[in-house]
Structure 1
Amino acid sequence: MNLLYTVLAFVLALGPLIVFHELGHYVVARLCGVKVLRFSVGMGRVVWSRRFGKDQTEWALSVLPLGGYVKMLDSRDPETAPKDDSELHREFTRQNVWRRIAIVAAGPIANFLLAIALMAALFMHGVEEPSARLRALPEASVAHQAGVRGGDTVTSVNGAPVQSWMELRWQVLQATVNKTAARLELRGVHGGTYAATIPAAAIAKTTVEGDVLGALGMELWRPQPRIEKVIEGGAGERAGLQAGDLVLKVEGKPVVDGIAFIEAVRGAPGRALALEVERAGRVQALALTPERDPNGRGMIKVMVAQAPEMVTVSSGPFEAVAKGAERTWETSVMTLKMIGKMIIGEASWKNVTGPITIADYAGQTARIGLVSYLQFIAFISISLGVMNLLPIPVLDGGHLLYYSLEVLTGRPLPARIGEFAQRAGVGLLFMLMALAVFNDLVRLF
């Protein structure tokens, strides 16, 4: 059932993005006067089709769902070449170079516009996310040594306002990619503001593959360790714990939050722990002996408060569109920088992911909720736009490269060079797909 849910979430995410991409090509081709012969969702053999419109364009579904295409009147292919002279003016290669550039670029641009629209809608609706408030930091951590203190809330990073944990992570991630210092503005738990700068040397030691904030010592703030529910027959009930109890100390050491209490319990299977809890305004001492779970960790069968502080990030219509465009631009630039770093060896090729990982994330975000799922779709739409703009023959970016050279030289690329580049591009694309699937399988197993 979970597999079916994941596959369905993947198809519902990727399918519309492919359709939107191809619609970009289709609409601009029609506006430029080019005749469109077929609009296909999927690649390979056509399994269903219908013809509509004055040009009797064939709208088709093909057997391989990972992709799509728009087939236009094109004299380079005998199958799509004009049948008589009356259609020559509607043939793709006879259009001026700027029209051809517009038709090819329209697909990726459609993906970027869709991402902006989705993000703007989410910002207008309001997205509930964990706040940028910090948990107590280890004294040896980079952030603590830079002057950051637990309980305080980050309000900006390098001048960019921060409202939520995701925005904090995004800004620090950009500093990691750029290998620059991160200047944090913070609001103290008791009021007042201050600044702390994490030096570039420390930022450079983190990697985008892992938990960037965690590597610097920053974690989500969690509430005090208050008991929410005691399950019958567990070690917590035998020790006398009750719903509403606030755990103050374990073995004489203060407990900062629910996560710290859970860690203390897990690390003491079968060993008695001296607790101090606050109940109805009075402090009581209890003796708690965690049971040993199948993994050899301690468990006491109680539910402890650990949900982070939440904030609603929302904007007005104009601000939402501006933020959507800004986030789309920043994500695109970061994607290109990551590709550049992989090429020069500064980032691992393990970051290349394929359909299995995308499907897994689609299923996970769909289970979390509609907002998370739409955020995921917006990110994939941006990735699809960026990847298609890469200067690889057979991709949109490869064709744009040809036409850019035509603009510079005043003449089209020789057919022989174009054919060689196409073959090389297909080979490179298959290599990248093989690497992506290999990385997916390694993550899976």
Structure 2
Amino acid sequence: IPLGGYVKFFGDENAASVPDAAALAAMTDEERRHSFVHQSVGRRAAVVVAGPVANFLLAIVIFAALFMVFGKPSTSPRVDAVQPGSAAEAAGFQPGDLVLTIDGRRVESFPDMQQIVSTSAGETLVFEVDRGGVKVTLKATPALKESKDRFGNVHRIGVLGISRSPSPDDTHFQPVGPLKALELGVQRTWFVVERTLSYIGGVISGREAADQLGGPIRIAQVSGQVASEGLPSLFSLTAVLSVSIGLLNLFPVPLLDGGHLLYYAIEAVRGKPLSDRAQEVGFRIGLAIVVMLMIFATYNDLLHLAAQWTAS
């Protein structure tokens, strides 16, 4: 279900896992041994964190399977041309430079470099390049550019101003084994987490526009568009959405899994849980935050659709 779901444990009053006082009072000793609220803090935390962990594991498995079936795209991260007046020119890039690392992260192909740069607009990146056998360190800040995909969706991406002119035999898919595919799956999942957190931090600091936040309407729209590109693209989107759901649920907002973990951490420190009143207030605040976020995301979706209709 795109909108998510929940688990109501034995002894809970509602979906927020608020204990049902009447039900707890009427429980037998045997029932208390099996009720969620009577478990240790560690056990409750393990149960709650299992959901987001499952989301991350699903993404890793999907990405790993895609790498195993289709291989890893490989194109030499070589700079063939530098656009005049671009961020790359200002940083000192030259044709023939071979990019080795970005911020200490190894770059194995040109798509690897594109992926990092496109999600780092306005951020200063440190490049290590091989220039005729000599290692050179360059600092560049990708410029923000609006780009339209073939479906007419507008994306804000970072650009350096360098290009690659691969020959027909230059780009190929490198076969990978199970262990390497698993490693690449973990790396790709972490990349999605890292860039998502970076974007959220950018929204909070004002560096990024919040209109990129989408809700169920945009998810449905993008899913349909991606499905037309084939199953690999659809599975890749599924993995990204799974990471996003897992990450969202870990935010320390009461009502979400992260909020429950916050309560359990407080309980572990205090030696006793927060009062029922304090937890209820927290859940109400959490519900308000989630509802406002959904309203804002839906508003963005409607504006996005209106802009597309106007453009067409």
Between 1 and 2, higher relative CO (CA 8 Å, sep ≥ 6) is seen in: 2
Give 1:391's match in structure 2, choosing from 231, 252, 268. Answer: 252
Q: CA 1:182/1:210 → structure 2, altered by over 3 Å: closer, same or farther? A: farther
CA distance in 1, matches of 2:134, 2:220: 43
Q: Please tell me the residue identity of whatever aligns with 1:322.
A: E
Give 1:93's match in structure 2, choosing from 31, 37, 50. Answer: 37
Q: CA 1:364/1:80 → structure 2, altered by over 3 Å: closer, same or farther? A: farther
Deviation digits for residues 184-231 of structure 1, max 9, x if unmatched? 4358xxxx556565525x34x547962312xx21345366xxxxxxxx
**Could you tell me which residue of structure 2 aligns to residue 435 of structure 1?**
296
Alpha-carbon shift at residue 155 of structure 1 (Å): 4.7
CA distance in 2, matches of 1:207, 1:407: 47
Q: Which runs of 5+ in 2 are unaligned?
A: 13-18, 147-154, 307-312
Q: Please tell me the residue identity of whatever aligns with 1:66.
A: L
* SS in structure 2 at match of 1:315: coil
Q: Please tell me the residue identity of whatever aligns with 1:160.
A: R
Q: Which runs of 5+ in 1 are unaligned?
A: 1-14, 16-64, 224-306
Alpha-carbon shift at residue 317 of structure 1 (Å): 1.8
Q: Please tell me the residue identity of whatever aligns with 1:199.
A: K
Between structure 1 and structure 2, the one with the greater Rg is 1
CA distance in 1, matches of 2:303, 2:206: 20
**Could you tell me which residue of structure 1 aligns to residue 202 of structure 2?**
341
**Could you tell me which residue of structure 1 aligns to residue 105 of structure 2?**
160
Alignment of 1:87-236 (within 5 A): 87-127=31-71, 129=73, 131=75, 132=77, 134=79, 136-149=81-94, 154-173=99-118, 176=121, 179-185=123-129, 192=132, 197-200=137-140, 202-203=141-142, 206=144, 210-213=156-159, 216-219=160-163, 221=165
* SS in structure 2 at match of 1:67: coil
**Could you tell me which residue of structure 2 aligns to residue 362 of structure 1?**
223
Alpha-carbon shift at residue 362 of structure 1 (Å): 1.7
Conserved? CA contact 2:11–2:35, under 8 Å: yes
CA distance in 1, matches of 2:134, 2:228: 39
Alpha-carbon shift at residue 318 of structure 1 (Å): 1.8
Conserved? CA contact 1:130–1:308, under 8 Å: no
Deviation digits for residues 318-361 of structure 1, max 9, x if unmatched? 22222222322232133223222322323221121112222222
Using the aligned pairs only, state the percent identity. 37
Give 1:318's match in structure 2, choosing from 179, 200, 203. Answer: 179
* Higher helix residue share: 2
* 1:422 maps onto 2:283 in alignment: yes
CA distance in 1, matches of 2:59, 2:111: 17
Q: Please tell me the residue identity of whatever aligns with 2:65.
A: A
Alpha-carbon shift at residue 365 of structure 1 (Å): 2.3
State the TM-score, normalized to the length of structure 2: 0.80
Taking only aligned residues, the RMSD between alpha carbons, in angstroms, comes to 3.0
Conserved? CA contact 1:129–1:165, under 8 Å: no
* Higher strand residue share: 1
